Structure 1
């Protein structure tokens, strides 16, 4: 997915505070609506990055969309666009998206199936919801690559995780390890990514790595994490140090959440449009390469239409983003 929010207003609108129990401190990050462009464009809810927090582990971008009736919204149609210094993680709850990239990958994104693309030094891809899609609903996530792997080769991985049952939750682990299950998909920093569907009025306790910070994105229902209630589209942030998380579904229907985690990412990143670098010069160079159709990003075959042009650079130097001190 392309980040068309060139000059985002990043702000923390959710309340932060201690929960009602003796659990860990949870910061609540609220989403802002971001259109993907065009008169019939779908709108996504973005919770990361924002001024209060740039990263959770190496997770640097969280877009949450749907459920959208594509007859009304037009679905997803993102023309070929570039990426540098990151991995894209596509995860659907409903619908189907056709992925094409300059590595030559042609794959479908379906519910419960992980598609992970590594940009390395440069890649381009397109994303289009298929004609079989009636309701489009899912998340698009980005992972920042560490400096030593920032220029690694392009790659594409597809993985279908099994369902694991723990207490009152069905869990699918698409990256890392949780609830006794481990994804075989390699990552460049320690990461966790999982979908959890919680039974109505259930409580689930999970052992987690105390060296990880975590983010819990609520898709459906109202979920209490360590005493703090999260509503749909909110992202709860939990810092390092705890070895467990307790999740309670406060509703009479199943609740769905996405749990993200990772060791704190110690590097400052420069993030603009679809590029992640370490300096303003990195961004200028990547943009020029895309606009000049250099071999850095390759080409996407099979998309019916032109490429997505890069927006103009800001007048000021693009500053590094960093998290507040934990």
Structure 2
């Protein structure tokens, strides 16, 4: 039976996906806007198109399965999911308002885990039991591993490109790299859609199971990926210019060549992690790639003060989201 609370959860989950789109749009379009390859309006249309293209080409949904397993089934209720989504939306909007490129992925996971642990407390169970440590620790590890991998690949890709183009005329090289940025930003947008839309798919799928609309192990209904990819693409089209400014100009000055390197490195990292079903942050990944590209020039090319502030935002995202979710779930519990 489809209940009003289930409908509300699905709507809020898709709203989160929409917010994820405009919150994380900066990841794939910041460099292409800062290098003036495309106007902001053209860039968001380009990114949104590749976000949605992932719907047709990615069918295994391994990341969605990982998200769905974050909290054990017997601790999941529709109210746990509701509290988690409300917390994730709240933290995403706060970080967007202040122009902080935090992770939409980790705020969703933190919210889901925080609500599940609070539910365990009300059930007089150990709250640690409300978190599947295997997938959760893997996700936490990649808070740090994703940007490091992105940084390393960014350095390697940038060095290779610099070597291949060392004899090219500067004007000709810049023209070609501006064209190549269309390809690299499209690849990054495709990877962003394929990785991030799946996180909400997992939440909606669990919601349907919790309300006995479908049974565990049932194939995911096709409307879920279609709705999630549509929501994230529409969100991307709405912009997110505060974070574009941070990603495109405040970490390091980016040229078209460096934009190609950073976007290519970010896309490669996301393709690899998606292949193994690891929910990583697009934000963390591309930030690491941009830093890696900056380091190939010199260490001082990276604005380390800004970077350290970003890292602190990454570290606090999961615990703050968990606390917000715990508060929301507690209020819902006492109002029932």
Regarding TM over 0.5, the answer is: no
Q: Structure 1 or 2: larger strand share?
A: 1
Larger relative contact order, structure 1 or 2 (CA cutoff 8 Å, min sep 6):
2
Range into which the TM-score falls when normalised by the shorter chain: under 0.3
Larger radius of gyration: 2
Structure with more helix by fraction? 2
After TM superposition, the score normalised by the length of structure 2 is 0.24
The two structures have a TM-score, normalised by structure 1, of 0.24
